[in-house]
Amino acid sequence: MENGAIRLPPPHPNPFPEREGLEYAAAMTSRSFTTTLQPGEGVGRIVLPFDPKAVFGTTRAPLAVTVNGHSYRSTVAAMGGAPFVPFRKSHRDAAGVREGDSFAVTLTLDVAPRTVDPPDDLAAALHAADAWPRWEALSYTAKRELAEAVEQAKKPETRARRIEKAVAALKA
In tens digits, the chain (172 residues) has pLDDT values of 444 454 444 444 444 444 444 554 555 589 999 999 887 766 789 999 999 998 888 888 999 999 999 999 999 998 888 999 999 999 999 999 998 899 999 999 988 888 999 999 999 999 999 999 999 999 888 999 999 999 999 999 999 999 999 999 998 7
Kindly state whether residues 128 and 85 are assigned to the same domain. no
- Contact, 140 vs 76, CB < 8 A? no
pTM of the model: 0.66
Kindly state whether residues 128 and 98 are assigned to the same domain. no
Kindly state whether residues 51 and 97 are assigned to the same domain. yes
Chosen domain end from 109, 129, 154: 109
Kindly state whether residues 153 and 80 are assigned to the same domain. no
Nearest-CA neighbor of 136 among 166, 163, 120, 116? Answer: 116
